Amino acid sequence: MKYYGTKNNLDYGFYEENFENAIEITDEYWKNLLNEQSKGKIIIHYDNKVLAVDKKEYSKENNKWIKLSEEEAKVKQLKIENAIKAAEIQNELEEIDKKRIRALAEPSLKDENTTWLEYYNQKVIQLREELSAVTE
């Protein structure tokens, strides 16, 4: 047997010994929980049960997990996706900044009508518009 709970009212975990308010689980269920965790799920204490859940379906408020509605889960997932996209755009902007510095130091043409600096500046404008769209 294993026990799931918190001894300090903050950090939840598995224990070998029983303590006040701990939830008793079988070794087999404990292994299943760890297996689900290895697949990206999180282990939570919800409704006096220990569950492995997709983080986008639950939210922790006031130190307590609540199940989100389908609409709330979609909003949370969109926020996560937008944050990832924003980070990707920021990284791309940093790479382009390095190239723009090089384009200033070594002016040359990308094609017949466009310098590399103009090309990179145009890319920056496009990326900033994308970034604005995902961070609104």
Give pLDDT, residue 106: 78
Report pLDDT digits (tens) over 93-121.
999 999 998 888 877 888 888 999 999 99
Q: Residue 40 has what pLDDT?
A: 93
Query: What is the pLDDT at residue 12?
Result: 86
What pLDDT is recorded for position 75? 92
Nearest to 4 by CA among 42, 38, 40, 60: 42
Answer whether residue 90 shows pLDDT above 90.
Answer: yes
The answer to whether 92 and 98 are in contact (CB under 8 A) is no
| Degrees, nearest 5: CA angle 53-55-56 | 120
pLDDT for position 112: 87
State the pLDDT at residue 4.
Answer: 93
25-84 residue pLDDT tens: 999 999 999 999 999 999 998 888 999 999 889 888 887 888 999 999 999 889 989 999
Which pLDDT value is given to residue 52? 95
- What distance in Å separates the CA atoms of residue 70 and residue 34, rounded to the nearest whole number? 26
E strand residue ranges, 16-111: 23-25, 42-46, 49-53, 58-61, 64-67
